[in-house]
Structure 1
Amino acid sequence: MALRPDQLLPLAGYTVVTLEQAVAAPLASRHLADLGARVIKVERTDGGDFARAYDDAVHGTGAHFVWLNRGKESIAVDLKSDEGRKVVRALIRDADVFLQNLAPGAAARLGLGADELREEHPELVTVDLSGYGRGGPFEQRKAYDMLIQAESGLISITGTPEHAAKTGIPTADIASGMYCAQAVLAALLRRCRTGVGAAVEVSMLESTVEWMGHSLYTQMYTGVQPPRMGVSHVSIAPYDSYPTSDGQILIGVQSEGGWKALTTVLGVPELTTDPRFATNMKRVENRAACDAAVAQRTRLWTTAELDAKLSAAGVPAAQINELEQVAEHPQLSARDRWRTVGTEFAQVKALLPPVTFDDVEAAMGDVPALGRHTAALLAELGYDEQDVQRMSAAGVVRVGD
């Protein structure tokens, strides 16, 4: 019997309950929702996930919230009340995964700690995402993305030689959110073999330090801090943005073949025999002269003209797009990567996840209004309409439109 498309989704049939806010954990659970999991997002009754109120850029809904929360069901519950906690525990009872990124120790104080939950449900996968991990002197410190970028050393290597900068996207949040999603998949796969769940911990600091990669190893084994290079590269030349007649273009040559092709396009093949530029290490050693020689020629063409010439010659290059251009990028359009999802106030564009299955498309569900699914979820748990009305009147739950 042929499977329906929704049955082909990798996580079809799995349920994830989340106590999440901001970016990191919501990103993790959105990836799971895109893969077909049912994601039930437990929110505060007084405003919900505070990312809802970061801004109103997307037709009245926060841009962060639209990005991170499609395909989820929202139930608004007062976790300070005994009855509210009872509701959440009932949701977890039938779930496969419980994911939370509350302040350190907060979930345990609510009776929703990993140890307690897994004692009752050994098959459950619990994921605790925090800034610094359990234990250690930083356990209780605030852990926003910018702070983790600073503590991890990312800011120290980002920016120009004159000015350090954080990255333009929430890198620490994204790194830890990706590791959370990966951990859930690994834990569920192990559970298929063993029948046993898992208690998983993900630290934003450790996730971001892992992403420091070669820069950290360079420091540890040479004692030299890699300098901030802007869009340039500490180990490769030419690798930078170069002027054109109407703007700039980024060129990144990583091989001798690429250097030869670049000098040919630029009409200065003699540079390949210049002893200052004979190898990549020589070009790095003489970076200023190399960049000047390249820039002298790149300014002879418009950005579009030079981009086309370099692409035809196989030279790594790119135009430095503004976000308006990215939203209309011809590659994304040609590959049909945009879909439409609903929000509380309007239909909006959303990009398909970068992982593409050949037999099923990602589940691109709507972005929920606060408490949109409260009544339906309570009904699933056995509460009748009078119960829902009573709990709503008492402030235990919030029922959305």
Structure 2
Amino acid sequence: MPLPFLTGLRVVDLGQYLPGPHAAQLLGDLGAEVVKVEPPDGDPLRRLGPVDSDGTTAAYKLLNAGKTVIRLDLKAEGGRAALEALLARADALVESYRPGVMDKLGLGRERLRALNPRLVHASLSGWGYDGPYATRAGHDLNYMAVGGGLDASGLPDRPVISYLPVADFASAQQAALAVTAALLGRERTGEGCFLDLSIMESVLGWQGLTLTAAARGSQPGRGEALLSGGAACYRIYRTKDGRFATLSALEAKFWRSFCEAVGRPDWITRQSDPLPQSDLTADLDRLFATRTLAGWKELLDPVDCCFEALPELAEVPGHPHIAARGQVRVSSGPEPLVETLMGLRVDGGPPPSRSPLRESDAGAVLAGWG
């Protein structure tokens, strides 16, 4: 079951692809009723990538679980009228159009306020509603680049693409947080508001540390900082069998425990070597290449040193800790879905569950909304 915090609240989701739909889904996890409005051909994510036997992608099913999906032609008078009827009864609207699209549909801010002055309208666009990039096209990689999320990460000779798309998921969580806060604020003021949210700025908001270092001329090169690969005690290492292990023994006590466990107490004082610690890192590269991943687990799992094996994706659901916590649900059948629920448990309960998405029509939804 969803959590009860937003029970009784109604959310209209006009998003497509990932950020907007995931933001609305998180609100549904917290108890809101979410109705997703799609064009007659459906959200393009239905067909973006390999499709299941029913003609729909797994990604679409996962990102829209828990919702009621209806289709409306918003370019036609009847479709706009049906959407307006929904918005007049809704508590929140989540959409991810470029700035100006809602105005072209006849649903700009003034019209929405006239329909429902208590409506919280969250617009999650790529760049935000003003500035020279406001109407510029973009995707996660572009937002990560401009927002400062790429330059400091990756290999010394080049940045790397993060996967899954960090900006998309980060902005979805920020949007859900903002909507929840705005709904709380509405309880005091009695009025809704317009939320201008930018996918790029969700990444930019994390960059205070790196931007400050860059402004002071103290930002290390890519792969040379304490947490980006410059410290031997905080790296990913390849094992004898071609698998990978993570070590994050930042504190002196953890590093000491690691060095003692591997029989190299002479390395303990080298933790403070200047960054990047190329020589010490090379020593650890050679060390980790002497055992298989299973061998390293056998040696280091009992040691309090911040060591963890890097599981392959297919192994993640079966990891003993993940399996015990119950956040991952795997459906049965020839086309299983692996659903990752919201990582939240209240008063010892389980993570909020999601029902499969269901298709409906505007008339049925409006009848239920009264």
Distance 1:298 1:307, change over 3 A: same
For residue 5 of structure 2, what is the amino acid of its counterpart? P
Q: Does 1:165 align with 2:156?
A: no
Q: Which SS does the other structure have where 1:211 is aligned?
A: coil
Which residue is 1:366 aligned to?
356
The aligned runs of 1:140-179 (5 Å cut-off) are: 140-179=135-174
The aligned runs of 1:2-401 (5 Å cut-off) are: 9-45=4-40, 47-59=41-53, 60-222=55-217, 224=219, 226-228=221-223, 233=228, 236-247=231-242, 248-273=244-269, 277=270, 279-280=271-272, 282=273, 284-285=275-276, 287-339=277-329, 348-358=337-347, 359=349, 361-369=351-359, 372-377=360-365, 379-380=367-368
For residue 350 of structure 1, what is the amino acid of its counterpart? E
Report the Cα distance in structure 2 between the residues aligned to 1:246 and 1:380, rounded to whole angstroms: 58
Report the Cα distance in structure 1 between the residues aligned to 2:369 and 2:237, rounded to whole angstroms: 62
Deviations 1:205-244 (A, max 9, x none): 1111113342222212326464146996256332222243
Q: Which SS does the other structure have where 2:164 is aligned?
A: coil
Relative contact order higher in (CA < 8 Å, ≥ 6 apart): 1
Is the contact made by 1:158 and 1:166 (CA closer than 8 Å) also made in structure 2?
no
For residue 275 of structure 2, what is the amino acid of its counterpart? V
Cα offset, 1:167, TM superposition: 0.7
For residue 51 of structure 1, what is the amino acid of its counterpart? L
For residue 47 of structure 2, what is the amino acid of its counterpart? A
**Larger radius of gyration, structure 1 or 2?**
1
Report the Cα distance in structure 1 between the residues aligned to 2:159 and 2:354, rounded to whole angstroms: 38
Is the contact made by 2:154 and 2:228 (CA closer than 8 Å) also made in structure 1?
no
CA RMSD in angstroms, aligned pairs only: 2.7
Distance 1:363 1:91, change over 3 A: farther
Is the contact made by 1:154 and 1:166 (CA closer than 8 Å) also made in structure 2?
no
May I ask how many residue pairs the two structures share in their alignment?
Answer: 367
Report the Cα distance in structure 2 between the residues aligned to 1:232 and 1:149, rounded to whole angstroms: 18
Is the contact made by 1:158 and 1:228 (CA closer than 8 Å) also made in structure 2?
yes
Distance 1:242 1:234, change over 3 A: closer
- In structure 2, list runs of 5 or more residues that go unmatched: none
For residue 227 of structure 1, what is the amino acid of its counterpart? R
For residue 204 of structure 2, what is the amino acid of its counterpart? V
Distance 1:381 1:11, change over 3 A: closer
For residue 364 of structure 2, what is the amino acid of its counterpart? A
Q: Which SS does the other structure have where 2:34 is aligned?
A: strand
For residue 157 of structure 1, what is the amino acid of its counterpart? A
Report the Cα distance in structure 1 between the residues aligned to 2:130 and 2:166, rounded to whole angstroms: 23
Cα offset, 1:10, TM superposition: 1.0
For residue 332 of structure 1, what is the amino acid of its counterpart? I
Distance 1:229 1:53, change over 3 A: farther
Is the contact made by 1:250 and 1:318 (CA closer than 8 Å) also made in structure 2?
yes
Deviations 1:193-215 (A, max 9, x none): 23222211101111111133422
Moved over 3 A (4+): 56-60, 223-226, 228-232, 234-237, 338-343, 345-349, 372-375, 378-382
For residue 261 of structure 2, what is the amino acid of its counterpart? V
Report the Cα distance in structure 2 between the residues aligned to 1:314 and 1:283, rounded to whole angstroms: 25
Report the Cα distance in structure 2 between the residues aligned to 1:150 and 1:271, rounded to whole angstroms: 37
Is the contact made by 2:84 and 2:115 (CA closer than 8 Å) also made in structure 1?
no
Cα offset, 1:53, TM superposition: 1.0
Report the Cα distance in structure 1 between the residues aligned to 2:335 and 2:300, rounded to whole angstroms: 42
Is the contact made by 2:327 and 2:351 (CA closer than 8 Å) also made in structure 1?
no
